[in-house]
Amino acid sequence: MNVDRKIQTLDEFTIQQLRDFPGATGELSHLLRNIGLAAKRVNVEVNKAGLVDILGDHGTINVQGEEVKKMDIFANDQFTGVLRHGIACAGIASEELDDFVAFDDPKSVNSKYVCLFDPLDGSSNIDVNVSIGTIFAVYRRVTPVGTVTKLEDYLQPGNQQVAAGYIVYGSSTMLVYATRRGVNGFTLDPSIGEFTLSHPDIKCPESGKIYSVNHGNFFQYPEKVRDYITVCQHKNKSNGGPYTQRYIGSMVADVHRNLIKGGIFMYPGTTDKPKGKLRLMYECNPFAFIMTIAGGRATNGEIPLLDVQPTELHQRSPFFVGSSSMMDELETYLNK
């Protein structure tokens, strides 16, 4: 057996990263491992979601005598629980909770990070077996360590993120996270129950041929966006195409594909929803951070997405993210 083949688990990787920062306390590594643990627990439930009817529908008591929760709430409880009982997180904000949750136990108030997450994005896709995901962002708190967190700890611009990532529960389950040192992907190995490094140092291709947008809203988009989408449709061999349109309506799956293969993902504002549908703090900002570290770019249509100063925890934002040269072309239309 080739004993030299080194499969690095998420735990080993985060600890190795620690070695490169002698001054590091290990709290961020600990927080990321907590997220990996919660992700494994959510993965088990997501994988058997199709059996819920057999195991008892949401809100009922299943054959094991356990209360069956909505999957979103179950996922929210898993991520909130591991972070609350860890030693690295002082509080959380979640798409599933109206307000942030300041952890007030002695260990948590002395932690320096806060975490914002969408615990199970696209969960309506579970019923049709389409990939779904968890999205998270990590910030250093701005209020003094030793006190309970306040709203300003959570309303920071995306350029203040210390780390961001996602888990995609798909044909395989992957955890991808970025720090300022790079983007790395870990695939869950069910045989050992560990996330193992499978995509080291992910870079988004400088260009691509995939554009992702909901064409059903086409005539509700601003004219400049419609013009760019039409350009995408007219691409051919002579001008960098042909492009292909890929959109499965699950953000984590759509953006993950474009990160790996190159492409652009758009959720513009519409006449019905001028701010779009996606949430700034725990959907747009994490992906903007990841894509930027991987060499791509993200905008809200006016300024770099990461520079937006948030005013509300659950505010929405128009969102454009992808390969740098495709973003260049998009912005020539947006800036007209």
| Contacts with ligand P6P, residue ranges (CB under 6 A) | 121-122, 124, 214, 249-251, 254, 277
**CB 44 to ligand P6P: min, Å:** 21
Return the number of the residue (222 or 241) whose C-beta is nearest ligand P6P. 222
**CB 336 to ligand P6P: min, Å:** 25
Q: Residue 89 and residue 100: Cα distance in Å, rounded?
A: 13
Return the number of the residue (160 or 244) whose C-beta is nearest ligand P6P. 244
Give Rg (Cα) of the chain. 20
Return the number of the residue (113 or 117) whose C-beta is nearest ligand P6P. 117
**CB 102 to ligand P6P: min, Å:** 26
Find the residue with minimal CB distance to ligand P6P: 251
**CB 333 to ligand P6P: min, Å:** 21
Residue 45 neighbours by CB distance under 10 Å:
19
Nearest alpha-carbon partner for 307 in 293, 294, 324, 288? 288
- H or E segment and range at residue 168: strand 161-169
Return the number of the residue (68 or 126) whose C-beta is nearest ligand P6P. 126
**CB 265 to ligand P6P: min, Å:** 8
Return the number of the residue (249 or 304) whose C-beta is nearest ligand P6P. 249
Residue 107 neighbours by CB distance under 10 Å:
14
